Structure 1
Amino acid sequence: MSVGRFPFWRVVPGQRSGEYILPVMPPATAGPDGAPHIMGGVALAAIVDAMGLDSELPLLWAQVQFLGPTQHAEELVVAVEQCGGGQAVAQYAGSASVNGRPTHRASGALGYREPYEQTLFAQMPDLPGPDAATPVEISHSSPGGLPDQFEYRVALYDEARGMQAIWTRSRADFAVDAGWLAIISDLFLGAHSASRGGSSLDAMFRFVQGTDPGWVLSVIEFAAFDRGVVHGSARHFAEDGRLLAISSQTGVLPRIPRGA
């Protein structure tokens, strides 16, 4: 097992204004030997990082459409620009490409309004904590890929209700920030045996707050399988019960479901 010690979703400035580069390292990838691709959540995290660097503001929400494959990519080129907003919030548009070929289209908003008082309505469900949950090793990926980067424990698995609750933790003790939570949110398609091996069409990520390194509980709820796709959402909680983020996805179901 190989664990990346540098946040592998961080981008660096490119040559043009609004351009940022993600050097693609093995931890950013998933897929079998010989066909690694950039994990969708990592691409979303890179776009979020680029928007944050460009605006110098904290993320509120971001969404991405997955347009094309990213197999064997050596770098992901991210372009972002402010397209609207006001004194408190900046609205952004973005895109990403591999070797000049469009692979992602994105939008988002960043900023904050003061003064404010936090109110958290969403409550973490009463489920086994990480110490009592069932450890699981994720396969179907080459060594050193994204599955090697976190611990994964199942607190609830109910296929009949379309629900799964999983605890995850960075093996490198990365802070639980917007980027790490965006990556975690892309574990969505693994929550049901009928959707494993499918491909995401989009991802929506709403960031509430970050927290120190540690366990995150993701409560995933599938809403429907229809016309060969799955729709669903998730809420992500700190170990102390605080809501950290909300996410949702639509994904294409595999022609041959991957077993549990």
Structure 2
Amino acid sequence: MEKLFFDLTPTHNPHRWYLPVEPRICVGPPGNEFMFGGVGMASAVAAMERTTGRSLICATAQYLGYARPGSVVDIDVWTPVEGKYNTQARSISHVDDKEIITVSAALGSRESPFSEQWVEAPDVPQPDDCPGRQHWRGSEEGVHSRMDVRFAKGRSGFDRDGAAEPDGRTVLWARPKEDLAIDAAMLAVMADFVPQGVGNALGKNAGGNSLDNTLRIRRIVPTEWVLCDIRISGVHGGFAHGSMSLFAQDGELMATASQSLIVRVRETAEDR
């Protein structure tokens, strides 16, 4: 099995997996850290792929609670429909009796002569020509410290104050700093970067807590960097809605993502 961004561990039950919640998969201010939502979805995706032996087609996560460092997340997988070409699956990630994330997914593949894309990658500078991002909280551990993120359009942290992107669009390059493959699980982690677009859309150091996330896989190809084209559709009533296209470095569309989130405007580094 390929190495993952997190320590997903099998049990004697092929439909149950567990994930220790360590600081390196968490975000949040000191004393209030919690597992990154993208890791929660990614671990469920990996568990379902490994349980079924099939590749992800699409998955939708609903975020229900937080998992704190030191806890253990159990991931239970159900496969109510197993067809010739695809499996419909569901997983529940929980800490003891507290449900954290529910994911519904379809997995599988079938032969087809068609392979096209009608969404094009934006024309932006390559990663080496884009400024690196230092997380606004200055954290030296956690998820953000393990990802190399470079902005091709938009800004990071407090640099966004007063510099709104009129089209609500943020474009960034991302890759893990560790030697990890770009697979469905890694794309699920990156898909949860949609909230970074809120700050650029508003011209504030803002982001948010995800309510849901949907990841749809087109075709995963070998690539060092992933180009994340984030578009915030709108903000109202304290909530935001956005989407992302995830491209390989050569412009191949690998996946799309979308989510809704609670908007958080951070005034200081201590704000969540």
Q: TM above 0.5, one fold?
A: yes
Q: Secondary structure at the match of 1:140?
A: coil
Q: Does 1:176 align with 2:182?
A: yes
In 1, Cα distance between the equivalents of 2:205 and 2:111? 42
Matched, 1:119 2:116: yes
Shift of 1:67: 0.3
Measured in 2, the distance between the counterparts of 1:245 and 1:258 equals 33
Q: Which amino acid aligns with 1:222?
A: I
* 8 Å contact kept, 2:26–2:69: no
**In 1, Cα distance between equivalents of 2:237 and 2:141:** 35
Spell out, residue by residue over 1:104-163, the C-alpha distance to the aligned partner (whole angstroms, 9 max, x if none).
111000001114432122211111111221211114374321011111111012522111
Q: Deviation at 1:220?
A: 0.2
Whole-Å separation in 2 of the counterparts to 1:141 and 1:41: 20
Match in the other structure for 1:154: 151
Question: Structure 1: which 5+ residue stretches go unaligned?
Answer: 1-5
Out of 215, 240, 257, the position equivalent to 2:225 is 215
Q: Which residue of 2 aligns with 1:198?
A: 208
The one of 37, 41, 49 aligned to 1:40: 37
1:197/1:123 Cα in 2 relative to 1: closer, same or farther (>3 Å)?
closer
Deviates further, 42-51 or 75-84? 75-84
1:189 lines up with 2:225 in the alignment: no
Distance 1:86 1:236 in 2: 28
Structure 2 residue runs of 5 or longer lacking an equivalent are 155-163
The whole-number CA distance in structure 2 between the counterparts of 1:197 and 1:73 is 25
Give the Å deviation of 1:10. Answer: 4.6
1:137 is aligned to 134
Q: Give the distance between the partners of 1:258 and 1:85, measured in 2 at CA.
A: 49
Distance 2:138 2:214 in 1: 24
CA contact (8 A) 1:31 1:142 kept: no
Deviations along 1:168-189, one digit per CA (max 9) or x if unpaired, are: 1211131111111110111111
Q: Which residue of 2 aligns with 1:3?
A: none
1:73 to partner: Cα distance: 4.4
Note if contact 2:223-2:248 (Cα within 8 Å) is conserved in structure 1: no
Shift of 1:257: 4.0
Runs of 4+, deviation exceeding 3 Å: 256-260
- Over 3 Å counting, the alpha-carbon distance change for 1:126 and 1:140 in structure 2 is same
Change (3 A) 1:130 1:19: same
Q: Which moved more, 1:144-153 or 1:132-141?
A: 132-141
- When structure 1 is superposed on structure 2, of 99-108 and 152-161 the one drifting more is 152-161
Aligned pair count reads 254
Most deviating of 149-158 and 102-111: 149-158
- How far apart are residue 228 of structure 1 and its match? 1.3
Alignment pair present for 1:81 and 2:91: no
1:210, CA displacement in angstroms? 2.4
Residues 64 and 204 of structure 1 are in contact (CA less than 8 Å); yes or no, is this contact kept in structure 2? yes
The question of whether the paired residues in 2 share the 8 Å contact of 1:37 and 1:73 is answered with no
Identical columns (%): 29
Question: SS where residue 135 of structure 1 aligns?
Answer: coil
Q: CA shift at 1:196, angstroms?
A: 2.6
AA of the residue aligned to 2:226: V
Whole-angstrom distance in 2 between the partners of 1:258 and 1:132: 30
Matched letter for residue 42 of structure 1: V
Structure-1-length-normalised TM-score: 0.91
2:67 equivalent to 1:70: yes
Amino acid at match of 1:201: L
| Aligned-partner Cα distance in 1 for 2:151–2:207 | 19
1:18 aligns with 15
1:32 and 1:141 in contact (8 A); partners too: no
Structure 1 residue 7 displacement after superposition: 2.4
Q: Which among 212, 228, 243 is matched to residue 233 of structure 1?
A: 243
